[in-house]
Amino acid sequence: MRKIYNYFRNTLQGKIIIYFFTTILLSNIITFFVVSPIINKMISKNGKNLILLLKEFHGIKFLILSISFIICVTSLCFISTIVVKEIKKITKAMNEVAEGNFDIYLQTKEKDEIAQLIFHFNEMTKKLKNTAYIQKDFVNNISHELKTPIASIQGFAKILKNNNLKDKDREEYINIIIDESKRLENLSSNILRISKLENQDVLENQSKFSLDENIRKSILLLQNKWIEKNIDFNLNLPKTYYYGDEELFIQVWTNIIENAIKFSNENTQIKINIEKSIDLIKVYIEDEGIGMTDEVKEYIFDKFYQEDNSRGSKGYGLGLAIVKRIVELSNGKIDVESEVNKGSRFIISLRMD
């Protein structure tokens, strides 16, 4: 019963049926209470004059049809005005969005299909607003991030020209220059990588490789970082063969595991599991780190997104965007579950075709 009520109350189709039903009911009521008494009156008045009666009867038929027609047209105009008014409102808002104004929120009290369209429109502008903000913010950040190491490289290089420097100081300044240039190199290679991945539709170098070995290799590449924090790995990696781009998958695991280490406290554990079914491989990477709020979770795969610098992140918000693109190009899927102060779990699902 409730379902039927919701159908007529909350769907455009249901509302149109109700309007038409009301129209037909109205014309019947008019026929029954207005036209029928007139006919009865005429029969009793005209008595046996059948020809006159038939003539007037045609007139009455015309009257009934005209009334029904007027009611139908009026109700159609009424329905279309409601629909067109809402669509005009959405079109106007769409034009604003096309001109770059994302600060728009459409109100609606209804629950029908147009209201759903309005709901999705509002969601879209909210996301566009965030993306625009993130990208604008990134441009500001990136110019700062580029200027800072370049200035310090220049500064220390100038100091190094001084012949009277102590060996200890000289070494310290050279190390700073090396670290800063590494950061610059990292940033530029990540920007190049994401733009290359975004411009390709298929992976070029595909072959059959051992996914478990691939993950082990990535863990080894990050050895310095997890040893420094005394992080323990709990691995459950059964032999798993997969057809894909081996090099790019190293990047996938490295980026996720590097984050897991970065956002974990010392002496914690990172669990990595492979689960296989007939046509699906699932890789779970789970840390006991600081976790994320639902809002952060929503944007972590967006390019240039970083929650904030207060949590000690030194990246540029490109790592997970690269991961997502590689997984998508491999026809896979990546999900994340997380709880603040409890940890995060990344789930990568890959199909075995």
DSSP letter, residue 99: T
Provide, rounded to whole angstroms, the least separation between the CB of residue 75 and ligand ADP: 54
Task: Tell me whether residue 14 or residue 315 sits nearer to ligand ADP (CB atom).
Answer: 315
Closest to ligand ADP by CB, 131 vs 313, is 313
Please, which residue, 77 or 340, has the CB nearer to ligand ADP?
A: 340
Q: How far is the CB of 344 from ligand ADP (least distance, A)?
A: 4
Residue 151: burial class (beta carbons within 10 Å; 0-12, 13-18, 19+):
exposed
DSSP for 168-219? HHHHHHHHHHHHHHHHHHHHHHHHHHHHHHHT-SS-SS-EEEEHHHHHHHHH
Residue closer to ligand ADP, measured from CB, 330 or 344: 344
Residues engaged in binding ligand ADP (CB under 6 A): 255, 259-260, 263, 287, 289-292, 296, 300, 305-307, 313, 315-321, 344
CB of 152 to ligand ADP, least distance (A): 20
Q: In the complex with ligand ADP, which residue's Cβ is closer, 204 or 294? A: 294
CB 291, CB 343: distance < 8 Å: yes
Contacts of 36 (CB under 8 A, 6+ apart): none
DSSP-derived letter for residue 272 is: E
Question: Shortest distance, CB of residue 129 to ligand ADP, whole angstroms?
Answer: 19
Sign of the Cα pseudo-torsion (179, 185, 191, 197, in order): negative
> Which residue is it, tokens 């997984």?
327
Nearest approach in angstroms of CB 98 to ligand ADP is 29
Residue 206: phi and psi, rounded to 5, are -95, 140
Closest residue by beta carbon to ligand ADP: 315
